[in-house]
């Protein structure tokens, strides 16, 4: 049964889509079968996977709002993982989900039908705590939170933690924080060091040991429609996301071993 991870942070510009695309690609390199779901109307994970979002005939919108057959929406781009793509049509789903029956459960019902086909399902959430994000959190087993080491990011983290707690209490009691990922990391910055210290003091081992540095190749890769590992596998960005995939898999294996013992 596949593990479902929501990549979430309501603060924009923290590397959420970059993490979604590159984590999916890195897990694929480790020979895992991966699905990436683009749940952001901006469709950046779709274009970053090499798919032209403007030419889509079907998207996640059709799954959520029209009960389209998932096989008709599923794409297999050169990035190496399967993709459920998105574009601006998804804005309409966001509005419709606000009034629909079982509105928080719509994505989970879709994910449950395909979960056995994958080792990991990665959901790229929009940069807001809206009904699409709620759907992702209800469908997920765990939340990966990308964030920069800056004070505004800490404020946003507090709001996200409240939302995760509310989802856990009302709709998804098994939801947990999978890990906090420090992105655009610059160890030379005093502010980075201070915020980093606060994160580790408060969240402890929930903070991934892996950090993602500022890296020009990582920033360039989406414009070529490629994960960074397909664009420049020797870059620091590619190495960081491979390390993250490895750390995540080790945690997964350790948790499974603890349960079996």
pLDDT, mean of residues 178-195: 88
Angle of helix 106-114 relative to helix 131-139, nearest 10 degrees?
A: 40
- Is residue 249 pLDDT above 90, yes or no? yes
- Is residue 182 pLDDT above 80, yes or no? yes
- Is residue 250 pLDDT above 90, yes or no? yes
pLDDT, mean of residues 137-164: 88
pLDDT band for 159, please (50, 70, 90 cuts). confident
- Is residue 169 pLDDT above 80, yes or no? yes
pLDDT of residue 57: 94
Report the predicted TM-score, pTM, of the whole model to 2 decimal places. Answer: 0.94
- Is residue 157 pLDDT above 90, yes or no? no
Share of the chain above pLDDT 90, in %: 71
More confident call, 112 vs 187: 112
β-strand partners of 176? 142
pLDDT, mean of residues 17-39: 97
CATH of region 3-260? 3.40.50.300
More confident call, 97 vs 35: 35
pLDDT of residue 195: 85
- Domain ranges for the chain, please list them: 3-260
Average pLDDT across the chain, whole number: 92
């Amino acid at each position: 049964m596949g593990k479902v991870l929501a990549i979430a942070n309501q603060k924009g510009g923290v590397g959420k889509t970059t993490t979604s695309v590159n984590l999916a690609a890195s897990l694929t390199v480790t020979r895992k079968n991966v699905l990436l779901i683009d749940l952001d109307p901006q469709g950046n994970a779709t274009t970053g996977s090499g798919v032209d979002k403007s030419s889509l005939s079907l998207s996640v919108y059709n799954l959520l709002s029209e009960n389209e057959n998932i096989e008709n929406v599923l794409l297999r781009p050169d990035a190496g993982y399967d993709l459920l793509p998105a574009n601006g049509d998804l804005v309409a789903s966001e509005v419709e989900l606000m009034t629909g029956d079982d509105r928080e459960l719509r994505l989970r019902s879709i994910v449950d039908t395909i979960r056995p086909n994958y080792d990991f399902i990665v959901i790229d959430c929009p940069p807001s705590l809206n009904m699409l994000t709620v759907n992702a959190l209800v469908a997920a087993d765990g939340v990966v939170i990308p964030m920069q080491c800056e004070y505004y990011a800490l404020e946003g983290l507090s709001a996200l933690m409240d939302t995760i707690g509310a989802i856990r209490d009302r709709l998804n009691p098994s939801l947990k924080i999978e890990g906090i990922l420090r992105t655009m990391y610059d160890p030379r910055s005093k502010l980075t060091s201070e915020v980093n210290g606060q994160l580790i003091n408060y969240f402890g081992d929930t903070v991934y040991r892996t950090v993602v540095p500022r890296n020009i190749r990582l920033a360039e890769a989406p414009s070529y429609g490629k994960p960074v590992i397909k664009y420049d596998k020797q870059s620091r960005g590619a190495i960081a996301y491979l390390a993250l995939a490895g750390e995540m898999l080790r945690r997964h294996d350790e948790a499974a071993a603890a349960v079996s013992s």
